[in-house]
Amino acid sequence: SGGTATHSGGTGAGGGAGTGGSAGGSTGGHAGTSATTGGTGGTAATRGANVGGSASTGGGGGTPTGGAGGSAGAPAGGAAGTGTGGVSGAAGMSGTGGTTAGTGGVGGGGPFDCSPAEGAPATLKWTKVFDDIALADPVSLVNDPGFPDSFFIADRLGKVVVIHGSSTKLYLDLSQYIRWEDPGVISLALHPGYATNGRVFVLYSQWRRAMMEVSEFVAGARPTPDPRAVVSLDSERVVLEQVASYGGDLTFDADGLLRVAFEDFPSKAQDLGVFWGKILRIGVEVPYGYSAPPGNMSGNARSAIWSYGFRHPRRLTFDACNGDLYIADTGQSAYDEINLEDAGSGSGANFGWDLMEGGHCNPPPASCDTAGKQYPALEFPHSSGCYPVGGYVYRGSEIPWLRGTYVFGESCTGRIRFAKKIAGQLTLTATSSTLPSGKLTSIGQDAKGELYALAPGAIYRLTGN
């Protein structure tokens, strides 16, 4: 017990002091009459599946089911809550004073449906949407739980539009940095806390600097962002640059860390001193560049590297309910593949390229050392189609029989394929469908787990019969 509180608490993720107390409140710490770390608890942290809810004045810690939600949850978990089925993101231990209340897990709470599939397979339909947008080559579609009716769609040539209801406006314009023959915009990712901080990350080719760049932009203006505003080019912060790489992807994981995939430069995918042919795991909560969190590869590997041995990873997506990572990788002369990294497997996986292509030695028929290499979950000979476009595990509610199915496709035919993880193995199903356009550039997911297919000049939404 002590005198009057003399300092207000820091920003936390729930769990502040009560009206006094040495640290913590009615649900965290021991009550008392004085606190130096008490005061008003902060809003929920923007990591995991929302750790706790927003702290009230001297509020309580997170609830066992993830609180009532706070600021935006991770892309893989959504806003925290009990959800419908699945496992809710854990709120962690109660904080002391204004300290963070622990990181929530990969959540089934929030908008995703983690219940088992039910019902018999039926006909699927691709319905054209967003007819009024003028994007010739859309490559990325993202949606934030804080703005479920707003869709951010990027075109390869540099324009990003935001669609809210019936209105469409230009959100970001990078076209002055991109030539027609360049890869252009590759991927777009909203920060898990976009609803409050307005931060958006773009992977694109910058021809004036001859670099592939991962850049952060802010909606509105620094230091007072407005997530409903458009983006100024003046807000750009370059996170990292990579020379001579023309493919890859961006996505955030459940810990709020950015995963970045880079295409290989000839014969560099096994070289742990460079980023070519790698997946990185980096922190972006720093004023300059990036940070390398614990848990990445160590030894002679660069500290940002998470896994390696890729040729052209085109899409990284996490299963929103269990955290498995799916990676579509385009081969060179014989095989394409879908790779699967089980949740919790840790860093350091070697997916084989350029010693192997698919599950085969490269070049065949020579023998090679396959020890320690991770074989693809699925492989496709080039004779059976064209390069794969990675998709998502369906976790929506509109097509119950499809839940838990990985949905991906082929670029040149628009054929959509389906696979399920059965007894730890990814297995193709007999179901397939084809886009009306006959082409496919990307697959997107909204905040409710429903899926969209992007094609030249068209966007389609997956619906049941």
pLDDT at 278 > cutoff 60:
yes
How much is the pLDDT for 220?
Answer: 92
- Cα separation, 89 vs 78, in Å, equals 9
Tens digits of residue pLDDT in 381-415: 988 878 899 999 999 999 999 999 999 999 999 99
Residue 334 lies in a domain: yes
Supply the DSSP string of 332-368, one letter for each residue.
SSSEEEEEEE-TT--S--B--TTTEETTEESSTTS--
Asked if residue 171 and residue 84 are part of one domain, the reply reads: no
pLDDT at 210 > cutoff 80:
no
Which of the pair, 97 or 177, is modelled with greater confidence? Answer: 177
Per-range mean pLDDT, top range of 62-66, 166-170, 253-257: 253-257
- Cα separation, 204 vs 215, in Å, equals 8
Asked if residue 275 and residue 176 are part of one domain, the reply reads: yes
Residue 249 lies in a domain: yes
How much is the pLDDT for 247?
Answer: 83
Q: Between the CA of residue 298 and those of 56, 223, 252, 307, what are the distances in Å?
A: 41, 35, 21, 11
Residue 120 lies in a domain: no
Asked if residue 144 and residue 80 are part of one domain, the reply reads: no
How much is the pLDDT for 387?
Answer: 86
How much is the pLDDT for 110?
Answer: 57
Give percent of the chain with pLDDT exceeding 70: 76
Asked if residue 143 and residue 256 are part of one domain, the reply reads: yes
| Spatial CB neighbours of 236, under 8 Å, sequence gap ≥ 6 | 215, 216, 217
Residue 339 lies in a domain: yes
Residue 115 lies in a domain: no
Does the N-terminal peptide bond of residue 365 adopt cis geometry, omega within 30 degrees of 0?
yes
Asked if residue 244 and residue 191 are part of one domain, the reply reads: yes
pLDDT at 311 > cutoff 60:
yes
Does the N-terminal peptide bond of residue 148 adopt cis geometry, omega within 30 degrees of 0?
no
Asked if residue 136 and residue 27 are part of one domain, the reply reads: no
Averaged pLDDT for residues 282-289: 97
- Cα separation, 434 vs 457, in Å, equals 16
Asked if residue 316 and residue 451 are part of one domain, the reply reads: yes
Alpha-helical runs (H) found in 47-113: none
pLDDT at 192 > cutoff 90:
yes
Q: Which of 27-36, 234-243, 299-308 has the lowest mean pLDDT?
A: 27-36
How much is the pLDDT for 105?
Answer: 40
Last residue of a domain, one of 91, 109, 137: 91
pTM over 0.85: no
Residue 117 lies in a domain: no
Asked if residue 199 and residue 79 are part of one domain, the reply reads: no
Residue 109 lies in a domain: no
Asked if residue 369 and residue 292 are part of one domain, the reply reads: yes
Asked if residue 24 and residue 135 are part of one domain, the reply reads: no
Tell me, what DSSP letter sits at residue 281?
E
Q: Contact 399/420 with Cβ under 8 angstroms?
A: no
Q: Are strands 442-445 and 425-434 parallel, antiparallel or unpaired?
A: unpaired
Asked if residue 274 and residue 165 are part of one domain, the reply reads: yes
Tell me the CB-side half-sphere exposure of residue 144, using CA atoms within 13 A: 26
- The encoded tokens of residue 187 equal 């991927």
Residue 378 CB burial class (10 angstroms; 0-12, 13-18, ≥19): buried
| pLDDT grade for 366, boundaries at 50, 70 and 90 | confident
- Cα separation, 280 vs 292, in Å, equals 9
Tens digits of residue pLDDT in 17-71: 333 333 333 333 333 333 333 333 333 333 333 333 333 333 333 333 333 333 3
Last residue of a domain, one of 42, 66, 91: 91
Domain boundaries, position 132: 125-463
How much is the pLDDT for 360?
Answer: 94
What are the phi and psi torsion angles at 196 (to 5°)? -115, -30
How much is the pLDDT for 181?
Answer: 82
Of the candidates 94, 29, 22, the residue with the CA atom closest to the CA atom of residue 55: 94
Last residue of a domain, one of 71, 91, 111: 91
449: left (phi over 0), alpha (psi -120 to 50) or beta: left
Average pLDDT, the chain: 80
Domain at 239, CATH number = 2.120.10.30
Of the candidates 99, 64, 97, the residue with the CA atom closest to the CA atom of residue 82: 64
Residue 224 lies in a domain: yes
Q: Between the CA of residue 171 and those of 174, 217, 246, 278, what are the distances in Å?
A: 10, 11, 24, 30
Tens digits of residue pLDDT in 112-133: 999 999 999 888 999 999 988 8
Asked if residue 434 and residue 381 are part of one domain, the reply reads: yes
In one-letter notation, the amino acid at residue 91 is A
Which of the pair, 243 or 60, is modelled with greater confidence? Answer: 243
Domain count, the chain: 2
